[in-house]
Amino acid sequence: MAKSSEALEALQQKIGYAFTRPEWLIQALTHSAENGGNNQRLEFLGDAVLGAVVSKKLYEDHPDWDEGDLSVARTALVCKDHLALVARALEIGSVLIIRKDVARSGPVHAMPAVLADALEALVGAVFVDGGYEAAFQMVCRVVIQYQRDRTMEEGGSPSEAIPPSKDAKTRLQEWLHAKSLPLPIYTLIRTEGPPNDCTFYAECRITHRSLTAHGEGRSRKAAEQFAASEVLAQLQRESP
């Protein structure tokens, strides 16, 4: 079933990319056509491009994350559940081309795998039509920015849109343990403000390096986490 040019134009505006060859857009949106066509080849390509773009973006934006942190964050961004949410926000279901017998199994918005596959195919189509840079910008604008917007709505910081897999204290402990070094010592330095609006100041000290860092937060735990992240960053910079 053909889709209106207005609906296709609206989708292109949402992803921030206008196709030079609109047939690639139509192909990406073809889950299952009556003539047997589908978007599986573009989905295959888009999956690879999506992984590469997300990996590069995370690597550039988070120089303090190790391989494990980067892997967990990438998985969160490219998993089917997240992609389905993004596809719903883009209203891809309203322009998806799908066979009547498949459509009878339920509404498209209730088919997360179908929506996720279509979004991957759309990434592949942008890559084929406009090249890597166009695909990079589209993924950043759509897939990554969606997660950042959700994080901000929940009161978080956009710079921490996808948090590391483990907190700073755990990562510092594991880093020291791997090198057979003693564990850090945490000390609450002081608190400021009334009990219901208090700021905590904590110190993290590494005795074998005479290394200390300070952190502050709305709780003792938050202050210690900040101090631990500062110490870990220093250790990683100094480590050969």
Active site residues: 47, 120
Residue 171 and residue 178 in contact, taking contact as beta carbons nearer than 8 Å: no
Residue 74 to residue 190: CA distance in whole angstroms: 38
DSSP letter at 165 equals S
Ranges of H-type helices in the chain: 5-15, 22-28, 40-61, 67-78, 80-89, 100-103, 112-130, 132-139, 145-153, 168-178, 220-238
Residue 120 and residue 142 in contact, taking contact as beta carbons nearer than 8 Å: no
Tokens 């735990």 sit on residue: 221
